[in-house]
Amino acid sequence: MLRKLIVAGLALVLIGAVACGGGDDPGDDSSAESDAASAAAASPPSGIEISPALGGNPTPTVSAAQAVDDDRSGGTLRVLGRDPPTLDPSLVSDTSSARIVLEIFSGLVRLDNNLQIVPDIAETWDVSEGGTVYTFTIRDDARFSDGTPVLASDFKWAMERAANPDTESTVAELYLADIIGVQDIIDGNATTAAGIEVVDDRTLRFTIDAPKAYFLAKLTYPTAFALKRENVESGGRTWTDEPIGSGPFILEEYRIGERMILARNENYYDRHAYLDRVVINLAGGVAMAMYEADEIDLTGVGLADLDRVQDPNDALNRDLVSVPPGFTTSYIGFNVEEPPFNDVKFRQALAHAIDKELIAEQVFAGLVRPAKGVLPPLFPGFNENLRTLDFDPVKAQRLLAESSYPTLSDRDKRIVITTQGTGGSPSLSIEVMADMWSQTLGVEVEIQQVEFATYLQDLYRNRLQAFFGGWEADYPDPQDWIDILFHSESPRNDGNYSNPEVDRLVEQARTEQDVVLRTKLYQDAEQIIIDEVAWLPVWWDTQGLALIKPRVQGYNFLPMTIEIFKDIWIKE
């Protein structure tokens, strides 16, 4: 989904990147909180693997629905957040939206706390021997929040709606186009997909274009979630003001720029949420001050407060918890069709002119790790042996001299890097990188800040010359990065990068059933991407710190965006 680059606070739960797909919310690394707690993440659970080869007919089960009747029930969680760009599952392309949508809506399958695919609205599923037909059985106790049943037809209608050009989804093609007939809808040549078949009220069948081990994982993304047609059609463009979902929470109140309240969904099919509600402060503020004033229940810890909270004599020390790294990569992207970024040697010169190690230590005090590649550490397919473009000012100067732009002409000299922001000074790390380019190469860069929704819109329409962004994994498979972000025909190839060999490698990986070979195909493609600086990866998360009120129990920091509020309770 489409991550992090993460603005802090615990806004840890509510502010993130594009990925969500997936991601691109670059965050503000000048803020105190984001320096130390740049993502809501946890140690990746053991056993996370690339999507396995197809085979077998899994028939997992889930617990029966039940209300909460123990001493964990009740209470309100208070967090700091910001307005999500959308609450429409068909349109979600960033983690700040996904974190809310995942609490209100649900799909056939989901990722659990171990990042394994488990049943959600689907009770069981069956995969054909050839790996192209998936048959799901819908739970007979699945209900929307208004009490009406969730049927197979609700999934079909929602997916076809997402693919319809009138919906203007930027993610439908990424996550649904493997299904036969969906691309025809996206292209405006059909309104229904033959590959989405309602067998009966409780049986849904998908036929995809080729056996793809990651297809099931794609169904955990919001574009595949059930929607109640009457709710969407009667509400028009503002239907998400009163959404009827099937997740563990409902939207009780939403005042833009002020607050959002999620309340327990009493019609949820599984064990009901412990919390009565979650109150999300959208008005902004200094997270640490709000935490100390008991206005919010959790926040990240930045450099300004690091020494204080680590002092055992400080009252806040008892609330301190570690936040291990998440599956996110922050980067500088280039539109490689625009001068001067259409010259690979110019891009390579920029890469060699940045001393990431120095910035990580001096700007972030070691709270970020210099990124070497696209895939973050511990993620399936991560390549420890990736060849990287390290800091080398002499080589940077030589490459610049060999490029088509040894000295930028008036036509090409204005280089603008766009980042998300709402005023004030831009991220210090971007300013430091710009200064390094100026000092080493004589290349001057202008940093432009725009509001997040505008940033996303311009990014998806390839309007940006260069951009500081981030990507968080939507599911634990390198296809979610290497294919989605760099295949020449991908709608999320935001930099217009094109390399026939990269295309060939990822196309072969799509249907390769040998896990070892498929991993190597992605790693070979990643090496080309790094060599050609399609992306300039800059930071990975390292372990950070956060403060959580002792009253908050069961809060899980996870390396990817999944629903988490259901398992939290308040101990008074």
pLDDT tens per residue across span 88-111: 999 998 888 999 999 999 999 999
Average pLDDT over residues 253-263: 96
More confident residue, 11 or 227: 227
Mind giving me the DSSP string for 449-498?
EE-HHHHHHHHHTT--SEEEEEEE-SSSSTIIIIIHHHSTT-TT-TT---
Residue 7 confidence (pLDDT): 33
Contact 507, 332 (CB under 8 A): no
Question: Would residue 170 count as lying in a domain?
Answer: no
Q: List, for residues 457-494, the tens digit of each pLDDT value.
A: 899 888 999 999 889 999 999 999 999 999 999 999 99
Residue 427 banded pLDDT, cuts 50, 70, 90: confident
Question: Would residue 273 count as lying in a domain?
Answer: no
Beta pairing class for 535-541 and 298-300: unpaired
Cα 276 from Cα 261, distance rounded (Å): 10
Residue 15 confidence (pLDDT): 34
Nearest to 400 by CA among 332, 336, 351, 334: 351
34 pLDDT more than 50: no
Question: Would residue 219 count as lying in a domain?
Answer: no
42 pLDDT more than 50: no
More confident residue, 27 or 397: 397
Beta bridge partners of 21: 19
Residue 168 — φ and ψ, nearest 5°? 60, 40
Contact 293, 333 (CB under 8 A): no
Residue 302 banded pLDDT, cuts 50, 70, 90: confident
155 pLDDT more than 60: yes
Contact 75, 572 (CB under 8 A): yes
Question: Would residue 376 count as lying in a domain?
Answer: yes
More confident residue, 35 or 332: 332
Residue 16 confidence (pLDDT): 36
Alpha carbons within 13 A on the beta-carbon side of 151: 12
Question: Would residue 274 count as lying in a domain?
Answer: no
Residue 520 confidence (pLDDT): 97
10 pLDDT more than 50: no
Residue 106 — φ and ψ, nearest 5°? -150, 160
Residue 423 banded pLDDT, cuts 50, 70, 90: low
Residue 560 banded pLDDT, cuts 50, 70, 90: confident
Q: Kindly state the percentage of the chain with pLDDT values over 70.
A: 86
Question: Would residue 500 count as lying in a domain?
Answer: yes
Residue 69 confidence (pLDDT): 56
Mean residue pLDDT across the chain: 87
- Structure tokens given for 432: 């430091």
pTM: 0.87
Residue 456 confidence (pLDDT): 86
249 pLDDT more than 50: yes
Average pLDDT over residues 136-148: 97
Q: List, for residues 47-80, the tens digit of each pLDDT value.
A: 466 766 555 455 454 444 555 556 788 999 999 9
Cα 24 from Cα 468, distance rounded (Å): 8
Average pLDDT over residues 491-519: 95
Nearest to 454 by CA among 422, 479, 425, 502: 422
Mind giving me the DSSP string for 43-93?
PPPTT--SPPPP-S------PPP----STT---EEEEE----S---TTT--
Total domain count, the chain:
1
Q: What's 367's domain CATH number?
A: 3.10.105.10
Provide the sign of the torsion angle of the four alpha carbons 98, 102, 105, 107, taken in this order: positive
Cα 62 from Cα 354, distance rounded (Å): 50
Residue 49 confidence (pLDDT): 64
Average pLDDT over residues 253-278: 96
Question: Would residue 315 count as lying in a domain?
Answer: no
Residue 66 confidence (pLDDT): 58
Name, of 79-83, 275-279, 302-306, the range with top average pLDDT.
Answer: 275-279
Residue 368 confidence (pLDDT): 85
Q: What letter represents residue 121's amino acid? A: I
Beta pairing class for 259-264 and 277-281: antiparallel
Lowest mean pLDDT among 176-190, 234-248, 551-565: 551-565
Range of the domain at 529: 328-540
CA distance readout (Å), 23 to 132, 227, 469, 527, 543:
28, 23, 8, 21, 20
Q: List, for residues 161-181, the tens digit of each pLDDT value.
A: 999 999 999 999 999 999 999
Residue 53 confidence (pLDDT): 57
More confident residue, 423 or 27: 423
Average pLDDT over residues 14-35: 39
Residue 362 confidence (pLDDT): 87
Residue 31 confidence (pLDDT): 34
Question: Would residue 492 count as lying in a domain?
Answer: yes
